[in-house]
Structure 1
């Protein structure tokens, strides 16, 4: 009897005899890509490790030669191969896998296409795999595959933020308008998209997805842009993407996938930094911070030798204040005013713990109830400088919430050092005061301001007030502009404009077109500039002369400029560009508001346009 076992060889696809390599687009001299879908580094000669996204698409992490750690970019292999080996005369943006296998990135299996019908072939196919290459799965005693749930390093979910029924979000992203037009439907109610991430079991409360309004999202600037909105009826919450096979929808879902890869890449980079000793332990907070700001999270360099679970809350608070001071002359440097507030917070905390007899309470013992009691105590104390204490003015809700938030920051600091703290205390929300009303000079105040005649003691302040009302510049930036006008004035497409970077962080750029009134003002002799405190004092005297009842400071001039630009016809986004704001939300919330004068200006422009477009009606009326 023959007991020999017949052995069969595993049949594998034949190995290609010739592999063609080409320089990688945008990375010439650093990486090469083959027609088989491999990426190799020219510096080391090694094949770059391939990673797999949740959607089944292969991608690699690339870093430009000579760049610093933290500048890596995720790139899909199919796009890299197509750009190198396939012609794209019609400038298509979508790469299709011919056999439907998303991991088969050979050049012969790819083609450029935007056809919605053929794009369906990009779905993963499992059944057509050769039997020899199929891998058996582990099954349980019932004969069914075991379906389990494993803990992943990061989980990324997209969801629609709830809005009031029947009213959409206050802003509609142009990408939603484009999709509505491409589907041939009427403008839909906007619903904003939020991102919720979970890192090592810690979940974030969610933040808005932002894309540029009229450009393709940039993986290197994921925080740049406005809130992305979509039609709620097109959203598939289970799949967390838009429903449909239209090319615009497919392209939109592809960008969502790239956003997900960007977040995963940030976590990977932060792990590398932490392993190298140049970054904190990655947490949900650090990943969110780097994604939304584009800056690596600050790292103290203070390890567990200095901080432990036995340290008191006051000791950890003081250690965190020292860490904030150590960031001087770096991109994370805080202003002197912000550092003073941290010092005030430490003094309030010492005072509170002394009154309740718990100065040695450990930071790890702080919980939600501690923060609730601390907040109530803050709301009952009298605040103000020594000359104002007789007013017995109590601390506002927003200020109390700010000081409680500083304690939460200290707990996050411990958490980043891998010391367990009460997670509920960190995520706790506090009630805040209602937002401040937006005050600015009304049209009648502006008329009085520009016709006002004052003595020589007030005339310099009056000139600077006019300048700031016409430009929207802060007092400090206005002085810089006057000192060297030629360095900031440029020729725009519609006339002369001022382009200046704000001194206040985040140091955004302002683009201010020069109004005729500004040209007339600059033709006058430039007076001497006061220090800010003296300027505000003189400004209050001028405010009384023009009948302005509110407290007048240099900020009133800046807000007046915002409202003035709105009445001149600028959009809200245009005003944000003039003021140097990062997004429209800041402009809407703190600097401008609608009023009767603005409605009058809008109506006047509408009537004028209607009359100019119907010249024969004017002739008929004249006859």
Structure 2
């Protein structure tokens, strides 16, 4: 009797032994008869069933569990039996991955029926999250993105529990199911874009399952998702920046203007700018090609982060920054709320047409450094951004002046 033991790729408490043997009916009197399967999974037997493989009784060796000889028929029979064993093992492995009962009856039923075994949606989602978290560092997604994926998992789990679909299989995820999930998300209530993103995450998990041969078709591939237009990313133009420098303002607004300009010329967050102004010398590095500020920037610590996330900024000292820094030490630092309130008043005087905040200044710095000739990957380092996609989405706002300046530089080529 051949014993075949399967150790699943997913962690479980014990090994699941599968024993599969073949025999001819002792009551048969025909020269050719069908081999019968005798299956035991984890020690539990099941009634014998046909293998679909006929063999000459004279060729079959019950003790060795094979057709003897070198004839073409014997070779074919043994290959078919090998395929049957592999098929039973594949079913057992699929049951384990799908978190379904690994019983002898289930293995027999799926082998005879030929129905695909799709893993549960939640289990596959969990596998995908693990794959995201274990990707090598260059390809690994930002911590904020991983947090959104974990949040997406919780919403999906809550929906499946609330609707009694805890064991929902991948094959049961249809466009109709996705629309019902979307409506449930909107009733939480969640915004259109966020609800759409959560449904899109399910589609991405199904694609992951398809690529790993866990299912035969991603039924959400044809799903059309509705998005609201993204909020425009705004920053000061060169003309507006020059107007901010030259306008006459009362003292409270003049103080706010100076802090805003420092952020526009460095890309520093307001708390970081205060820290550097209070003691700039330790953070300025002298180089043959010029001076720069090197600052360890603390990115906003989210609730989900176990540890704060730091980024190192290398900020070239522009002429405007050199002029501002000595004067900034004489100015008081208003509260964050007070600064933004005064910037709102300046916004009205500049007739900007968009909200003027400290974030606007940081985005202005990104565009300004690009205009001054710095490459995009350098500007990403200046701003202390880990993810280039974040830089593209929020800071890569190209002015018309950048195009004009490049045309002038390249006209002789």
1:606 and 1:315 map into 2 onto residues whose CA distance is 56
Of the two, which has the highest radius of gyration? 2
Q: Given the alignment of the two structures, is residue 308 of structure 1 paired with residue 111 of structure 2, yes or no?
A: no
Give the alignment partner of residue 424 of structure 1, picking from 218, 223, 233.
218
Shift of 1:477: 4.0
Deviation, 1:513, is: 1.2
Per the alignment, residue 267 of structure 2 pairs with 472
Alignment of 1:320-331 (within 5 A): none
Partner in structure 2 of residue 503 of structure 1: 298
- Give the conservation status (yes or no) of the 8 Å contact 1:342–1:406: no
Verify the 8 A CA contact 2:174 2:219 in the aligned structure 1. Answer: yes
Q: Are the structure 2 counterparts of residues 309 and 537 from structure 1 closer, same or farther at C-alpha, using a change threshold of 3 Å?
A: farther
Instruction: Verify the 8 A CA contact 2:297 2:311 in the aligned structure 1.
Output: yes
Q: Which residue of 1 aligns with 2:183?
A: 377
Which of 494, 499, 512 is the aligned partner of 2:315?
512
Q: Which residue of 1 aligns with 2:244?
A: 449
Distance 1:372 1:603, change over 3 A: same
CA contact (8 A) 2:159 2:181 kept: no
Cα shift readout 1:345-377 (whole Å, capped 9, x = no counterpart): 7457646874xx445453556524366324652
Q: 1:402 aligns with which of 188, 197, 201?
A: 197
CA displacement, residues 150-180 of structure 1 (integer Å, 9 cap, x when unaligned): xxxxxxxxxxxxxxxxxxxxxxxxxxxxxxx
Which of 396, 403, 409 is matched with 1:592 structurally?
Answer: 396
Query: Aligned residue for 2:168?
Result: 362
Shift of residue 323 of structure 1? 9.1
- Taking a change above 3 Å as real, the CA distance of residues 580 and 353 of structure 1, as seen in their structure-2 partners, is same
Once the two structures are TM-superposed, the CA of residue 543 in structure 1 deviates from its matched residue by 1.9
Shift of 1:440: 1.1
Give the equivalent residue in structure 1 for 2:327. Answer: 524
Change (3 A) 1:314 1:458: farther
SS at the partner of 1:545? helix
**Shift in CA distance, 485/559, structure 1 to aligned 2, threshold 3 Å:** same
For the Cα contact (< 8 Å) 1:472–1:558, is it kept in 2?
Answer: yes
Contact 2:295 2:314 in 1 (8 A): yes
Provide the secondary structure at the position in 2 that maps to 1:523. Answer: helix
Gaps of at least 5 residues in structure 2 are: 1-71, 73-95, 102-118, 135-139, 300-307
**Match of 1:552, SS?**
coil
**2:348 matched residue in structure 1:** 544
**RCO higher in 1 or 2 (8 Å CA, sep ≥ 6)?**
2
1:214-363 matches, cutoff 5 A: 308-309=99-100, 339=147, 342-343=150-151, 346-347=154-155, 350=158, 354=162, 357-362=163-168
Is 1:555 the counterpart of 2:346? The answer is no
Aligned residue pairs, count? 288
1:189-219 Cα deviation digits (max 9, x unpaired): xxxxxxxxxxxxxxxxxxxxxxxxxxxxxxx
Question: Could you say which residue in structure 1 is the equivalent of 2:289?
Answer: 494
Return the offset for 1:469.
0.5
- Mapped to 1, the partners of 2:145 and 2:249 lie a distance apart of 35
Query: Structure 1 stretches of 5 or more lacking a match?
Result: 1-140, 142-303, 385-393, 611-623
Partner-residue secondary structure (3-state), 1:542 = helix
| Contact 2:344 2:357 survives alignment (8 Å) | yes
Decide whether the 8 Å contact of 2:206 with 2:218 is kept in 1: no
SS of 1:478's equivalent in the other structure is helix
Choose between structure 1 and 2: higher helix proportion.
Answer: 2
Q: Deviations over 1:303-325 (max 9, x none)?
A: x89x93489867998x89x999x
RMSD of aligned Cα (Å)? 5.2
**CA distance in structure 2 between the partners assigned to 1:577 and 1:530 by the alignment:** 28
